[in-house]
A and B are shown apart, each in its own frame.
Chain A
Amino acid sequence: MKGKCYIQGMAAITPQHTFEGDPMAQPMVVTHGNMLSCAEPDYRSFIAPNSLRRMTRVLKMGLTASLKCLQDSGIAVPGAIVTGTGKGSLQDTERFIKEIRDYQEKALNPTPFIQSTYNAVNGLIALQQKCTQYNNTFVHRGFSFEHALLDSMLLLHEGTADVLAGAFDEITTEHFFIKGRIGHWKKETISNDKLYDHPSPGTISGEGAVFFALTPVVTTQSYAQIGGLQMLYKPSPEKLNIALPKFLQQHGLQAADIDLVLTGENADTNHAHYYEILNGYPQLPFKHLSGDYETVGAFAMWLAAQILKHQQIPSQWFPMLQQQPAKLRNILIYNHFFGEQHTFMLLHAV
């Protein structure tokens, strides 16, 4: 990608207190149980009561995070709205399906159907901001956010002045149960702060809504530059081993230039071996803060951008951190979604 891409504003609603105040000064939220839920803000400051009454949780989270992001960037009407979601509004989907069953496919309420569509959040943002520009939602499991980001970068490259890019996903009790049956979660109940003390099959679930205002021009307010992005679908360990140095090389870097790797390590022994490619790199895992879900890469990018902007790693969130790095210029994110969708993202300090 030749064009440049800078994070001009951002906002995140996650299981940590990331939305208000100085997120880097917040203590770690510890949840006992394998399902992390977002620390939700008061939505009434962002959404009119008449609209709020109809929205389910992920819609409120997505819309609020996007509006806060736009506020943060100073952009009112973005040149494009591009998002990614793995599951869309699960609450609405579940409600709609249950009503199909309960009412024998008759007398169905339109609201959960309308809101269960993946692009409902984008529609709400566009309506609220009166934005009639390009509007797209990507739904590609563990590549959902990454495709939204790639599309955003291409739009900037083609001349769009600014793009609102984001991701949102929620977890419900029912979906947690379903995914548990296919082995996504740990059998033992743990606390998120003890995640890495429990290497076993499965991990902990999470959710979040994270938005970025992206521009091709750097300003004093910019958080970080997005330097590179690469997706690999079900790569062999050999292919991954070659892909990482090649990715760095394509961006004029080598292993020694990476000051920190944020890894998607999640104590899931079924897929932990992939992270061996990072041996020798200074690295920190982040999923004890967020849990795992399709678009968790957006949270990793938010975290990397915060670290680069503040030039400091929040040690209260990373008890495993031995020492602050001497410099923080380049952060690599390596994440995969249950061994299938693998992503490298590169962020630079500005």
Chain B
Amino acid sequence: MEELKQKLKVQIIEALNLQDTRPEDIDDNAALFGDGLGLDSIDSLELMVLLERQYQIKVEDPREGRKILQSVQSMAEFIQSKQPA
């Protein structure tokens, strides 16, 4: 799980071109949107694309996406739940 979260942080920084952010700056449980990392609605679409490209997971229901993209922790838990045991 720790390894997955680290990898996710690097992928998020690269995908969203967060130039002045380092992986260690992102708290596992901090909100990605609003007060946390300050991402916006276009970023949420880009994160959906990231999940599809990097982890072959397609989020069909936007309401589900809201919960999944809350934080790095929630994203990692979702990815792990979708991976074969």
Given A50-B38, A54-B42, A114-B42, A108 contacting B17 (CB threshold 8 A):
no
Pick from A49, A103, A106, A110: contact of B45, CB under 8 Å? A110
Whose C-beta in chain A lies nearest to the C-beta of B44? A110
A111 and B46 within 8 A (CB): yes
Residues of A within 8 A of B4 (CB): none
B52 and A49 within 8 A (CB): no
Residues of B within 8 A of A50 (CB): 38
Whose C-beta in chain A lies nearest to the C-beta of B37? A50
B17 and A54 within 8 A (CB): yes
Q: How far is B15's CA from A54's CA once the two chains are assembled, in angstroms?
A: 10
Given A111-B42, A111-B46, A106 contacting B52 (CB threshold 8 A):
yes
| Distance between A57 CB and nearest chain B CB, rounded to angstroms | 13
Pick from B16, B18, B49: contact of A107, CB under 8 Å? B49
Residues of B within 8 A of A109 (CB): 45-46, 49
Residues of B within 8 A of A111 (CB): 42, 46
Whose C-beta in chain B lies nearest to the C-beta of A52? B19
Give the contacts of A84-126 with B (CB-CB under 8 A).
103, 106-111, 114
| Distance between B10 CB and nearest chain A CB, rounded to angstroms | 16
| Distance between B31 CB and nearest chain A CB, rounded to angstroms | 15
- Is A239 close to B, CB under 8 A? no
Q: How far is B57's CA from A107's CA once the two chains are assembled, in angstroms?
A: 10
Q: How far is B19's CA from A323's CA once the two chains are assembled, in angstroms?
A: 50
- Is B22 close to A, CB under 8 A? no
Q: How far is B46's CA from A109's CA once the two chains are assembled, in angstroms?
A: 6
Q: How far is B58's CA from A107's CA once the two chains are assembled, in angstroms?
A: 9
- Is A53 close to B, CB under 8 A? yes
| Distance between B34 CB and nearest chain A CB, rounded to angstroms | 13
Residues of B within 8 A of A108 (CB): 49
Q: How far is B46's CA from A108's CA once the two chains are assembled, in angstroms?
A: 9
**What are 26 A-B residue pairs whose CB atoms fall within 8 Å in the complex?**
A49-B19, A49-B20, A50-B38, A53-B16, A53-B17, A53-B18, A53-B19, A54-B16, A54-B17, A54-B42, A103-B53, A106-B52, A107-B49, A107-B52, A107-B53, A108-B49, A109-B45, A109-B46, A109-B49, A110-B42, A110-B45, A110-B46, A110-B49, A111-B42, A111-B46, A114-B42
Chain B interface (Cβ within 8 Å of chain A)?
A: 16-20, 38, 42, 45-46, 49, 52-53
